[in-house]
Structure 1
C-alpha cells in the first residue's frame, strides 16, 4: 500500500514537472482578431477568401468573405506586423480552367477568379495588424 502511494506520488510529481517545463499557455506572439469589409466596384463582395501573409514569411491567416464582410477570430488571428493581403472570389458560373497537367472538369481544376490578379496572384494589397486598438481593415477594390 505504502509502495503504491509513493509510486503515484512520483508519477504526479513527474507530470507536474513536465507541465511546468512545457508551460501553461501557447507559445509564440499574441494573436489579434482581424475584421473588415471588402467591396469591389463599390459593391460588397458576395463571397470569397482573404489571406494575410506576414512580410517576413513567419505568419499567415485566412478568412472567408460573406456578404462583403470577413472575420478572423483571435484564436486563429494574426500577430502585430505588416502583411501582404490576397483576396479571391471564384466565379461560380465560369467554366473551370485546367490546372497544370489536369483536364477540364478535374477536381484539380482552378476556377476563374472574379477579381483582377492585382488583388490575388499578383497582389498589390497590404495591411498592418496593430497591437493596440481595433484591427478593422476595410478593402475597397476598384
Structure 2
C-alpha cells in the first residue's frame, strides 16, 4: 500500500530530475561571439592549391581565455584552391566564419614521398588497412611511408609564417594567398 502511494511521487521526482539534467546539459553556449564570413583562394607557384589545410590562429589568445576565444578555425581548399572557413567551438558547436580580429595563417599540404602518386599511396594505405583489419601485422615493406609537407616552412609552421589576415565584422572577408 505504501509503495503505491509513493510511486507517483517517485515518478514525478524522477521525471523532474531527468528534465533538469536534460535542460542543464543542452545549453546552446550563448557566450559564443558572432563570426564574420571568411573565404578566399590559395595558389602555389601560380597554380590553385587543391586539398590544402588552411588554419587561422589567434596568437593573441591567452590559455586562460574563454573557450569561444580558443576556437579551431580551418578549412580544406577545393579543386580550384578556394576555401570557406568555419570555427569550431568544442565538439558540438560549429559556426560559419571567424570571430573578427587579426590571425596568423598557416597552410599545410601533405603529399606522398618521392615520385609516388596519390593513387599509389592510397592503394598502399588500403592494402595495409586490409591486413590490419584481418588481424595481421604489417611488415616494414607493407607499411605506407609518411606523407611529406609540400609547402615550405615559411607557410606551414605557425612560428615561421608571416601570413596574416585581419577579419572585419559585418562584411565579406575575401583573402588571396599566393604562395611562391
Q: What TM-score, normalized by structure 1, do the two folds share?
A: 0.69
Q: For each residue in 1:51-90, what CA deviation from the matched residue of structure 2 results, as whole angstroms up to 9, or x when unmatched?
A: 1211126333222112211223462554333221111223
In the alignment, is residue 53 of structure 1 matched against residue 57 of structure 2? yes
Paired residue total? 135
More helix as a share of residues: 2
CA RMSD of aligned residues (A): 3.3
CA deviation map 1:4-50 (0-9, x unaligned): 22222212222333345446302542363532211223321123111
For residue 83 of structure 1, what is the aligned residue in structure 2? 103
Q: Partner residue of 1:99?
A: none
Are positions 1:16 and 2:19 aligned together? yes
Is the radius of gyration larger for structure 1 or structure 2?
A: 2
> Matched residue of 2:169: which SS?
coil
Tell whether the 8 Å contact from 1:85 to 1:123 is kept in structure 2 after alignment: yes
Unaligned runs of 5+ in 1: 97-102
TM-score (normalised: structure 2): 0.57
Cα distance in 2 between the residues matched to 1:70 and 1:87:
12
User: Which stretch has the larger CA shift, 16-25 or 47-56?
Assistant: 16-25
Say if 1:95 and 1:30 are closer, same or farther in 2 by CA, change over 3 A.
farther
Consecutive unaligned residues of structure 2, counting only runs of 5 or more, are 63-69, 88-93, 117-139
> Which stretch has the larger CA shift, 73-82 or 83-92?
73-82
